[in-house]
Amino acid sequence: ADFGFRRVPVEEKQRLVDDVFHSVARRYDLMNDLMSAGLHRAWKDALVNAINPPKNDRNFRLLDVAGGTGDIAFRVIESGGAGTHATILDINGGMLEVGRERAEKRGLDHAITFVEANAEKLPLPDRTFDAYSIAFGIRNVPRIEAALREAYRVLRPGGHFLCLEFSSVDLPLLDKIYDLYSFNAIPAIGRVVTGDAESYRYLVESIRKFPQPEVFASMMREAGFGRASYTKMTGGIVALHSGWRL
Ligand code: SAM
């Protein structure tokens, strides 16, 4: 199917995203390393530092939305103390299944709950979590405003919202290289590893359509978050957004 560059209705968008992640679940972690040349590890480290789980046994509850195969949750549990717990929520059962197997292998399953659900409608109570994270996930969510409202609702007052997402490259030469890389190399790697280049074209396109960081920050404020700010990393390839339920 050629869905790369046409306008995609909201319902269809979610289905396309689901297809991509179903087809890639088993090879997802390899794909991340290949496509980001390992950089996603440094970006995720920055997110985990910002989540900053307590090192002592104090209870700390993280909700990692679009958590996929568990990368963020594992890192947070491993860097936190005995009271650190993570809920990994994803719309895709295939990704969660891989996450469950990985959690067992790493002996982390006691500290993790898996939830298959949509970021736009969290089946979770109000004011529950100390932190909400979403890494490379929110651009796949058709109704971003709904996801932000839900994030606000489930955070406790004082809770921290963090979003790691691709952004816009603003260095003169890097932007050219990045364009060449995303429109050529990413679909090509996708074809070699999963036999599916079109899905990756669609993902690259979703990165380009994602709101500019200033716009996303104002959407966060609109949803109720205070002290909304962001930090660009690697020349603007990604941005880490932060806000608080005050
Ligand atoms: N956070 C993980 C990481 O950084 O490795 C996974 C990121 S992966 C690029 C995007 C994830 O978003 C996929 O697992 C996909 O199933 C999930 N996703 C897409 N739409 C979603 C939605 N509406 N609600 C929850 N998760 C969604």
Lowest mean pLDDT among 105-114, 119-128, 175-184: 175-184
Q: Name the 3-class secondary structure at 115.
A: strand
Residues with Cβ within 8 Å of residue 168, at least 6 apart in sequence: 212, 213, 236
| Rounded distance from Cα 180 to ligand 1 centre (Å) | 25
User: CB of 155 closer than 6 A to ligand 1?
Assistant: no
Instruction: Give pLDDT tens digits for 56-111.
Output: 999 999 999 999 999 999 999 999 999 999 999 999 999 999 999 999 999 999 99
Q: Across all residues in the chain, what is the average pLDDT?
A: 92
Q: Give the neighbor-by-neighbor strand order of the sheet with 226-233.
A: 112-116, 84-90, 60-65, 129-135, 155-166, 238-244, 226-233
Asked whether 66 and 88 are in contact (CB, 8 A), the reply is: no
Quick one: pLDDT at residue 141?
94
Written as six digits, the tokens of 26 are 């088993």
- Asked whether 238 lines ligand 1 (CB < 6 A), one says no
pLDDT at 8 over 90: no
1 is in an annotated binding site: no
Say if ligand 1 is within 6 A of residue 35 CB. Answer: no
Cα 55 from Cα 93, distance rounded (Å): 31
CB neighbours of 187 closer than 8 A, spacing ≥ 6? 197, 198, 200, 201, 204
Q: For residue 37, name the pLDDT band (cuts at 50, 70, 90).
A: confident
| pTM of the full structure | 0.92
Q: How far apart are CA 73 and CA 66, in angstroms?
A: 11
**Domains, the chain, ordered by start:** 10-244 (3.40.50.150)
| Shortest-distance atom of ligand 1 to CA 68 | 14
Cβ(140) – ligand 1 distance below 6 Å: yes
Tell whether ligand 1 has an atom less than 6 A from the beta carbon of residue 66: yes
Torsion-angle region of 53 (φ positive above 0: left; ψ -120 to 50: alpha; else: beta): beta
Q: List the structure tokens of 7.
A: 């306008």
Give the residue whose CA is nearest to atom 3 of ligand 1. 135
- What interface predicted TM-score (ipTM) does this complex get? 0.99
